[in-house]
């Protein structure tokens, strides 16, 4: 009996779920064809139909991570002046789901830094994210919500602040509950406001 497109898509989804569970439990360091096969209850041989090499598997996992991050439900900013805050908070591990996704992002920096092609892809992702923040900063400055300054530098600083907060929160969730993460970002945003504090 011929395999249908539906079969193929269903199998692809199963593979993606298995890759995600391996990443969640062991990070990229534990991502091997063997581990994904075990998670699927399949043979490593079967997996090689999907991924010829370990690098293919890692590249697939990075795409999956990006897709799941884009698909994550996001809070919508109530108005334009809240857009920068919502964008920054959207990065943080404020929920269990966002913590899993962030833990996998942080873990992805190891294989990405070890491979020129994957490193370029990551650099592009972070540059795109900074560009979005830069546009929000420039809009905030035009409205008078934010102090003057190079919007690209302010965006790079804001991205640095949330990325570093992610790392600290993942290692010490008890010291960085969601409430404190939000308060720290709000303090950072106040420092960007045009009025003397």
110: contact with a second copy by CB under 8 A = yes
Radius of gyration of the chain (CA): 20
Closest distance to a second copy from the beta carbon of 117 (Å) = 13
The footprint of a second copy on this chain (CB under 8 A) covers a number of residues equal to 52
Nearest CA-CA partner of 32 in 16, 65, 52, 54: 54
Among 64, 139, 156, 178, indicate the residue that binds a second copy (CB under 8 A): 156
Among 111, 133, 136, 151, indicate the residue that binds a second copy (CB under 8 A): 111
Q: Are residues 162 and 185 in contact, defined by beta-carbon separation less than 8 angstroms?
A: yes
Helices 151-171 and 96-113, axial angle in degrees (round to 10)? 110
188: contact with a second copy by CB under 8 A = yes
86: contact with a second copy by CB under 8 A = no
128: contact with a second copy by CB under 8 A = no
User: For residues 65 and 20, what is the distance between their CA atoms, to the nearest angstrom?
Assistant: 8
Which residues contact a second copy (rule: CB under 8 A)? 25-30, 103, 106-114, 119, 122-123, 126-127, 130, 147, 149, 153, 156-157, 159-168, 170-172, 175-176, 180, 183-184, 187-188, 191-192, 195-197
């Amino acid at each position: 009996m011929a395999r249908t497109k539906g079969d193929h898509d269903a199998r692809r989804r199963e593979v993606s779920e298995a890759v995600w569970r391996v990443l969640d439990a062991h990070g990229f360091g534990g991502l091997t064809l063997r581990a994904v096969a075990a998670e699927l209850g399949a043979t490593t041989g079967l997996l090689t139909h999907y991924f010829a090499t370990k690098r293919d598997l890692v590249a697939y996992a990075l795409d999956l991570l990006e897709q799941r991050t884009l698909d994550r439900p996001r809070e919508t900013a109530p108005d334009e002046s809240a857009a920068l805050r919502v964008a920054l908070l959207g990065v943080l591990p404020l929920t269990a789901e966002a913590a899993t996704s962030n833990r996998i992002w942080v873990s992805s920096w190891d294989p990405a830094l070890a491979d020129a092609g994957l490193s370029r892809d990551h650099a592009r992702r972070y540059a795109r994210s900074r560009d979005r923040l830069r546009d929000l900063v420039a809009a905030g400055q035009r409205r008078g919500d934010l102090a003057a300054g190079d919007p690209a530098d302010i965006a790079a600083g804001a991205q640095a602040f949330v990325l570093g907060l992610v790392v600290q929160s993942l290692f010490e969730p008890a010291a960085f509950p969601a409430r404190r993460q939000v308060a720290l970002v709000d303090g950072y945003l106040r420092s960007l406001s045009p009025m003397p504090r």
